Structure 1
Amino acid sequence: MFLKRCLQVVFLFVCLASSLAFGQHVGGITLRDLDGKVVKLSSFDKKLRIIVFLSPECPLSQNYSLVLNQIQEQNKETTDVIGIFPGTSYLPKDYQAFKEKYKITFPLLTDSAKKLVVKLDAKVTPEVFLLDVNDKVIYSGAIDNWVIDLGKKRSKATAYYLSDAITSYIQSKPVDLVSTKAVGCYITDL
């Protein structure tokens, strides 16, 4: 009984540590769209928000663009997918070319000061954070298990972490897996 209670306390601590700190809301963070207009994340007001960090030159960001478009389409009534380009390594034309080449259907924003990167403790692209309307992180990490490690992939995904978390939340069920390790290109400015 004591061990079970200790494990419950540890689990609760891990859950709290993986969510945003008390009073820290991403909704007020100011970003810019690809036209340079100021956008606040709070302007996206669906039941869920998927924040996905991307890089125009990251092969995994490119490869996952179709999956992210599909997730946006399948969940458009309840979920906003928001692509974030962190840092200042690229020009607006690079972001626009990425959007056009990969036919991105969801909004793309820039986080040149990396305020959102720091707030969510993002490390790689593509890395996702599923947030509820109160900015609570429900799930963070990889989109699915297609990528095992850099340069090492399965022929197809067999576990759909992000989609499963969305489905569980929408159905008012607990999200079984709240965090995974995202594999991708490191977020950095060269």
Structure 2
Amino acid sequence: MLRCCAGAVVGCALFLTVVTGCTRSDRVDLHAVRVMVLSTAEGDAVTLDTLLGRRATLFFILAPDCPLCLNYAPYLASFPDTVGDVRAVGIFPSRFMDRDSVRLFAKAHGIHMPLVMDPDCKFAGLLGARVTPEVFLMDNDGELVYHGAIDNWASRPGRKRVSATAHYLTDALSSFAENRPPPRREVKAVGCFIEYP
């Protein structure tokens, strides 16, 4: 009897560990974000603290060679680096990306937001990023207000609609501006997988 109960307890504990360990947190370690030192695409050292918006920061996880990022380049170019109290920042997570390719990507498409290199994928890992492009709207308390897909234009790798019919990021930003929770806090992003070291 005792052996059976012990097995059930261990089984439940293992199940809870796996379930909670495999889910993404809705909160980011804000201290780790504030003190993290990375470099810009221009080569300047920067702490992420200096890039945070007044109320929130929108992190675009990008790769200049990802076809879907290239497809979203006009959207990124039309996106101001600050929307109200929210600042947009491009994060490029890969040790295989060089600054020149990021600068050329930004220049070719007219992207003006701050661009930050994340060669060890430490910041991308802190957010729980899986693919590019993927967005993370984080408030100044470290809460992820929204994360995932920009919209539903890409339905799965290699498949796109003619045009998006759901605009998840726009909805999240509008809700945030009105101090309301977004209609959806997370939508799985489709794109190029991040190669973690």
Pick the TM interval, shorter chain.
0.7 to 0.9
Q: How does 1:1-190 map to 2 (within 5 A)?
A: 17-20=24-27, 25-43=32-50, 44-72=52-80, 76-188=83-195
Whether the aligned pair in 2 keeps the contact of 1:20 and 1:119 (CA below 8 Å) is no
Give, in whole Å, the separation in 2 of the partners of 1:184 and 1:159. 17
SS at match of 1:27: helix
In structure 2, stretches of 5+ residues that fail to align are 1-19
Which structure's CA Rg is the greater one?
2
SS at match of 1:188: coil
Give, in whole Å, the separation in 2 of the partners of 1:60 and 1:46. 30
Give, in whole Å, the separation in 2 of the partners of 1:154 and 1:17. 28
Whether the aligned pair in 2 keeps the contact of 1:89 and 1:189 (CA below 8 Å) is no
Give the counterpart letter for 1:124 in structure 2.
V
Whether the aligned pair in 2 keeps the contact of 1:27 and 1:135 (CA below 8 Å) is no
Whether the aligned pair in 2 keeps the contact of 1:145 and 1:158 (CA below 8 Å) is yes
In structure 1, stretches of 5+ residues that fail to align are 1-12
1:10 is matched with none
Percent identity, aligned pairs only, is 34
Deviation track 1:86-112 (CA, whole Å, cap 9, x = no partner) reads: 121122211111111111111111011
> Any runs of at least 4 consecutive aligned residues in structure 1 with deviations exceeding 4 A, and if so which?
21-25
- What TM-score do you get using the length of structure 1 for normalisation? 0.84
How many residues get paired?
175
- What TM-score do you get using the length of structure 2 for normalisation? 0.81
Deviation track 1:98-145 (CA, whole Å, cap 9, x = no partner) reads: 111111111111011211111111110001100111221100000000
Deviation track 1:61-108 (CA, whole Å, cap 9, x = no partner) reads: 1111221233326x5332211111112112221111111111111111
Whether the aligned pair in 2 keeps the contact of 1:56 and 1:98 (CA below 8 Å) is yes
| Farther off after superposition, 20-29 or 174-183 | 20-29
| Farther off after superposition, 170-179 or 44-53 | 44-53
Give, in whole Å, the separation in 1 of the partners of 2:125 and 2:153. 26
